[in-house]
Chain A
Amino acid sequence: DTEVTQTPKHLVMGMTNKKSLKCEQHMGHRAMYWYKQKAKKPPELMFVYSYEKLSINESVPSRFSPECPNSSLLNLHLHALQPEDSALYLCASSQDNQGAQDREQYFGPGTRLTVT
């Protein structure tokens, strides 16, 4: 099973709202990722968690706050977003293994976020 699930599928929020995106995997992967994808562009890395600890933050604004409650779950808390933050938010996971065989990332279906 190589499934990563994300909820909700679609989200519309105002600039003063607080909302959260959720991601779950049951593949035993110990690295999890948040990406942002704008239309007709490749995904852009936002955050990397390794063994539930934040290991990479790609200079993401503080209105995005990641959380990794356990090895299977990853959240992205959203607050005071701007209209330009509207995008597809993708979660991914991979084996936390430096071996050459295990570097592939498995992506969820994404949350389509619209900020009004």
Chain B
Amino acid sequence: NAGVMQNPRHLVRRRGQEARLRCSPMKGHSHVYWYRQLPEEGLKFMVYLQKENIIDESGMPKERFSAEFPKEGPSILRIQQVVRGDSAAYFCASSPSLTGETQYFGPGTRLLVL
């Protein structure tokens, strides 16, 4: 099992561009979580998705950010019109079910906005 995969590992964007971050959960996992880590901070929850459904997006900024987890393919975190404050590490985690299963983390995508 290759574990949770994220790509790209590093992403550089200029202000105003779009950033697309991808997460492939572990085989057999249908739950995906996105977290953001700003410099010198802990990970902060953004959104929780199941296949084709957003379950909890209480941590998502109200504008410019969106997430999806389609029936086929990876989960996508999309940031439109990026600003310098979006520079952070974005981590994806997956779990097999809702009932207290461990979340397994990917290696993260480091986004740098110039």
Partners in one complex: no
